[in-house]
Amino acid sequence: MKQIVVAGAGYGGLRAVEKLSKRSDIHITLIDENRYHYMQTEVYGYIAGTKDIDEITIDLESWCEGFGHNVSFEMAKITHIDHEHNRLSTDKGEIAYDTLMIATGAHTRFPTFIEGLRQHAFGVKKLERAFEFRHRFEQCVKQKLEGDNTPIDILVAGAGLSGVEVAAEMAYMLERYRHALGKNVERIRITLIDACDTILPGLDPFLIQSAQKRLQKLGVMVKTGAFIEKVEADRVTFRNGTTQSYTFMIFTGGIAANSGFVPEIFERNQFDQLKVEDDLRLVGADNIYAIGDVAEIVDKRGEPLPPTAQVAEKSAEHAAENIFRQLDGGPTAPFHGEIDGLFIALGGRYGAAELFFLRFKGMSAYYAKRLVTYIYTLGLNLRVNAAYKTRH
């Protein structure tokens, strides 16, 4: 029986396993360094306290058990690929494969040219960092509840999708806490900073304007064209020499791929994303695919697609189909990925959306995003329930 290994249990990895499991003549091993699947797209709610841990994580062992016999889970950190002998090294030992799909995503990239950034800022790409950040936010609220009236400044550096969502949700929660904290709530201030001249750089003007208006309404201070040069324990210094004090800071300004375990001979771009052929196989490899954030994936015109859960899932599905084609002795097919739309959560029951030719905002956009998340988590939960039923 052919052994297919899926490395990384994020959005792409799970979609790949779903698709691959349709065939009974292969065995699929899913590997992840964590025992849970972490839904990063929902982390804005977790940080602000509107979502709980069970709404952003899924137990991978149970999820894999839900497929029956041809899917298994290994919790291990991958450290190296021996592509000549089709073996992975992990902190728990070696794992052999016939075909490998690399889906290990990305981590927050703290640019080294910003002095002190890594030391002082939180990222949200890992659950433990989001957990610490949530804890800090809760502590601020508690401090204010107890009557402390020193100002607290929360900086969100990076006004892309994740930065905007996190800033908006925290600001919305502060609005809700007004009844509990009174005027003291105004002593917790949120500032969203970006080096670009706009928030949500590269996105549709409708989304940018909707987000700007909403952030303003929620009292978030937005500083664009502000390049952070240095971060110290209690203040940041901008390139123009001005400074801003802060209490704690989150950095959502960029990512780098988790590709350190892939041999150097495989090409990558400046974000460490692996270069792939149009069929999503690594350049120069016959039986190794790379999908999602870890790969540089381009659209029909050759333009890089943004690192999103949507692209991770679509590329995973396509790579799984190509694995089937190879198993059947046929040629692989090129991937023509596109973004169908984008939903942005903008605090509380408010959002903005772009879906094919439609643009809308407000509660409808929020519920549209919720529906997508609901369908996604329902699928995962049904699989876990299937495992519980067979156990008991």
Ligand X SMILES: Cc1cc2nc3c(=O)[nH]c(=O)nc-3n(C[C@H](O)[C@H](O)[C@H](O)COP(=O)(O)OP(=O)(O)OC[C@H]3O[C@@H](n4cnc5c(N)ncnc54)[C@H](O)[C@@H]3O)c2cc1C
Binding site for ligand X (CB under 6 A): 8-13, 31-34, 38, 40-41, 43-44, 77-78, 103-105, 124-125, 161-162, 165, 258, 261, 292-294, 307-310, 312
Sign (positive/negative) of CA torsion 113, 116, 118, 123? negative
Q: Least Å distance between CB 143 and ligand X?
A: 25
Cβ atoms of 361 and 351 within 8 Å: the answer is: yes
Per 3-state DSSP, the chain is made up of helix, strand and coil in percentages (nearest 5) of 35, 30, 35
Q: Least Å distance between CB 11 and ligand X?
A: 4
Q: Least Å distance between CB 140 and ligand X?
A: 19
Cβ proximity to ligand X, 3 vs 308, nearer residue? 308
Q: Least Å distance between CB 39 and ligand X?
A: 8
Pairwise CA distance, residues 287 & 265, whole Å: 15
- Which residue in 189, 181, 171, 188 sits closest to 147, CA to CA? 181
- Which residue in 202, 192, 169 sits closest to 307, CA to CA? 202
Residue 40 sits at φ, ψ, to 5 deg, of -60, -30
Q: Least Å distance between CB 161 and ligand X?
A: 5
Q: In this structure, what token pair is assigned to residue 385? A: 């329930």
Residue 291 sits at φ, ψ, to 5 deg, of -135, 165
Cβ proximity to ligand X, 62 vs 162, nearer residue? 162
Cβ proximity to ligand X, 144 vs 361, nearer residue? 361
Cβ proximity to ligand X, 185 vs 208, nearer residue? 208
Q: Least Å distance between CB 199 and ligand X?
A: 14
Q: In this structure, what token pair is assigned to residue 237? A: 């210094």
- The DSSP call for residue 166 is H
The C-alpha R_g of the chain, in whole angstroms, comes to 22
Cβ proximity to ligand X, 231 vs 297, nearer residue? 297
Q: Least Å distance between CB 245 and ligand X?
A: 25
Cβ proximity to ligand X, 30 vs 188, nearer residue? 30
Cβ proximity to ligand X, 33 vs 321, nearer residue? 33
Q: In this structure, what token pair is assigned to residue 35? A: 């025992």
Residue 146 burial class via C-beta count within 10 angstroms: exposed 0-12, middle 13-18, buried 19 and up: exposed
Q: Least Å distance between CB 290 and ligand X?
A: 10
Closest-by-Cβ residue to ligand X is 10
Cβ proximity to ligand X, 66 vs 307, nearer residue? 307
Pairwise CA distance, residues 102 & 262, whole Å: 9
Helix (H, G, I), strand (E, B) or coil at 228: strand
Cβ atoms of 157 and 250 within 8 Å: the answer is: yes
Cβ proximity to ligand X, 31 vs 346, nearer residue? 31
- Which residue in 234, 252, 66, 89 sits closest to 157, CA to CA? 252
Cβ atoms of 309 and 39 within 8 Å: the answer is: no
Cβ proximity to ligand X, 180 vs 378, nearer residue? 378
Residue 157 burial class via C-beta count within 10 angstroms: exposed 0-12, middle 13-18, buried 19 and up: buried
